[in-house]
A = this chain, B = another copy of it.
Amino acid sequence: MNRRISRPLAGFVLILAALASGAPPAAAGPGGTPRRPEGVVNLLPVPETVAVREGRFRVGTDLAIGGSGSPSGRAFKAAARFMSRLSGRTGLFLKQDFLAAQKPAGQGGVRYSYAREGLLLPTEDESYKLTVEPGGIALDAVSDIGVLRGLETLLQLLSADEKGYYFPCVAISDKPRFAWRGLMIDVGRHFQPVEVIKRNLDGMAAVKMNVLHLHLSEDQGFRIESKVFPKLHELGSDGMYFSQAQIKEIIAYAGDRGIRVMPEFDLPGHSTSWFAAYPEYASAPGPYEIERHFGVFAPTFDPTNEKIYPFFDAFFKEMAALFPDPYLHIGGDEVEGHQWDANPAILAFKKKNGLADNAALQAYFNRRLLKILTKHRKRMVGWDEIFQPGLPTDIVIQSWRGPKALVEAAQKGFQGILSNGYYIDLCQPAAFHYLNDPVPADSPLNDFQKSFILGGEATMWAELVTPETIDSRIWPRTAAIAERFWSPASVRNVDDMYRRLGIVSLALEELGLLHLKNADMILRRLAGPRIKPLKVLAEAVEPLEGYARHGQAAYTSLSPFTRFVDACAPESLPAWRFGKAVDRYLASRDPVTAEELRAILTAWKDNHAAVLALIAGSPALAEIEPLSLGLSRVCEAGLGALGHLVKGEGQPAAWIEEQRKVLAEAAKPAAHAELVVVQAMGRLVDACAGTGR
């Protein structure tokens, strides 16, 4: 499956190996002069092939851009955005009058071309070839969507030297490894208004993702206007839903960025909010209220009620017309079963129809839904649970349970997309998601079967996020997932991914994403204008991983997500860098690294007094005292260990034991978060074992 074919041209310096291995960015030119093709080493996702050659294309105020297609076309609009972003980054007054009157770029500008307008389908060609030469830039693609992908690459290439801004000369040939590179946003549990969706679409486009999957209905909310059944959004949403005009706006915005929008209506479970309007369709008598808590709840559609099928027919007819995407997701996960088991009529129906268990009953329901979807020209997508006997192979399985289910489906001829391992709501490290491959190297599938794995989706489940915090839960980690879906399978250097993640994170800000700046805002609301001590503490703290945070409080869809933990990044890059520095020191005993560690440890340790002063003025901060005290103590332990290591003094087991106790105490969760520098500190402490060296 390794499609990365490198074609070094004469005079080109191939830096692919460096990209994959995370080697330093400097490459030696023919004359031995060190060059710094900065933009090239920052590319994310890494293109299929990149060849660097001598020379720089200078960005000046006379830069022109032009290409094929009409001014109302996708490529033209993307070119306009490209120029605006380039102007924003360089501060240069670029000529952008082409917006009103498009003129072909002469020699010396950016020239793009494509053969045809791309279709928003997983089968579309998104490849492009980008050549930067000192005298001009050429971007050629089969479809205009390929042009979009290439423009993002070009923007990432922007570099600077003492003479100003430039693009390094390169020849890039690029195409995606997977056709389905998605982000699911759950707008059911916490609604996310249009502007949140739009800025995240911009973020997706920046890292070449191409599917926005909107999880539109949940126990906690029905989030789209239905003109056919208006009670659905009127009674099921607390007034927080997308109007159809807004949905059209989102679809157009996504389409301009080469992104499909696939709707999901989670059925037959996860459906309490529907029953606020239509209790008669549930499997137990109502009334029902919108669910405020989180979990798996009993309310479930009654598959034996014949009235639901004309209802779904009319409903999906409306939605099929609204969403142009050929795929429609019917959820299907976590049917809780209590209502079905407690309803004598349903039990009788199962018996009569030879449906052995609830899974069989759900398969029956799905077959009925499939008929309706097919009638309205939609292909059915669903979570693992819909993969049941009796459904044709043209449905698509989205696996949240694991890659095994996907393998099994592919072997039986079903297409699949992977989401297991991409649950970004769980606040796991980017490296974990990054190394999770829809088609891992040890996959038991043959090449034909592998072609059934369309790609994957990061899933932003929304129990614990609000419009204020959602960006920081999605970005920058999702960029690592985007690279997994786009780049060759061999691009797996974790350290280099983290280096580039920091760079792409800053670049994402220009799109309006709030993942960096909202942390400050949340802290200012808690503590007033002086938040430095809280920011220092946040470097060493992350929200509890997995489902652990859910256990810390009875969260509801109305809880405040405005506490210290909500200002902490799911993964602290400073903490990650600290861990790397510890390992580097332990491997090298390099005195410079020792000094670097000492500076960090001292700053963290001394931070506690300042945090205490802030806590005194803000009752909402009281909960973080254990974290701050813990950080101070583990840094004391770390500084002690470092001192011994520098002097080459070994320490007895009792000393190690004592430090370990301090670390264990500090590792306990507090304020729904945890100190994440404890493990690295443990490595420092452990290294003191035995006699000195």
Q: Report which A residues bind B (CB closer than 8 A).
A: 77, 84, 87-94, 96-97, 99-101, 160, 162-165, 193-195, 238-239, 243, 245-246, 249, 289-290, 292, 467-468, 502, 506, 509-510, 512, 514, 516-518, 520-521, 524-526, 528-529, 553-554, 556, 558-560, 562-563, 616-620, 623
Contact = CB atoms under 8 A, between A and B. Distances in A.
A205 to B, nearest CB: 17
A88 B96 CA distance: 43
A618 B88 CA distance: 13
A560 B160 contact: no
A560 B87 contact: yes
A380 B186 CA distance: 47
Nearest to A517: B517
Contacts of A96: 556, 558
Contact of A521 (B97, B99, B194, B517): B517
Contact of A93 (B93, B528, B559): B559
Contacts of A100: 238, 289-290, 292
A119 to B, nearest CB: 22
A510 B529 contact: no
Nearest to A561: B88
Q: Max chain B CB contacts within 10 Å: which of A164, A165, A243, A620?
A: A620
Nearest to A514: B517
A553 B91 CA distance: 12
A529 B517 contact: no
A163 to B, nearest CB: 8
A164 B99 contact: no
Contact of A560 (B88, B525, B623): B88
A525 B560 CA distance: 31
B526 A91 contact: yes
Nearest to A519: B517
A500 to B, nearest CB: 14
A562 B87 contact: yes
A245 B249 CA distance: 10
Contacts of A524: 506, 509, 516
Contacts of A163: 619
Contacts of A90: 560, 619-620
A97 B292 contact: yes
8 contacts: A92-B620, A93-B553, A96-B558, A100-B289, A162-B616, A245-B246, A506-B525, A510-B521
Contacts of A518: 517
Contacts of A556: 93, 96
Contacts of A619: 90, 160, 163-165
Contact of A554 (B93, B99, B520): B93
A532 B525 CA distance: 21
Looking at A88, A89, A90, A563, the one whose CB has the most chain B CB atoms below 10 A away is: A88
B92 A560 contact: yes
Contacts of A88: 525, 560, 562
Contacts of A516: 520-521, 524
Contacts of A554: 93
Contacts of A512: 467-468
Contact of A195 (B194, B239, B290, B528): B194
A374 to B, nearest CB: 32
Contacts of A92: 560, 620
Contacts of A93: 553-554, 556, 559-560
Contacts of A164: 619
Contacts of A617: 160
A528 B506 CA distance: 7
A521 B509 contact: yes
A295 B556 CA distance: 53
- The 8 lowest CB-CB distance pairs between A and B, nearest first, are A91-B620, A195-B195, A517-B517, A245-B245, A96-B558, A88-B562, A87-B560, A164-B619
Nearest to A101: B289
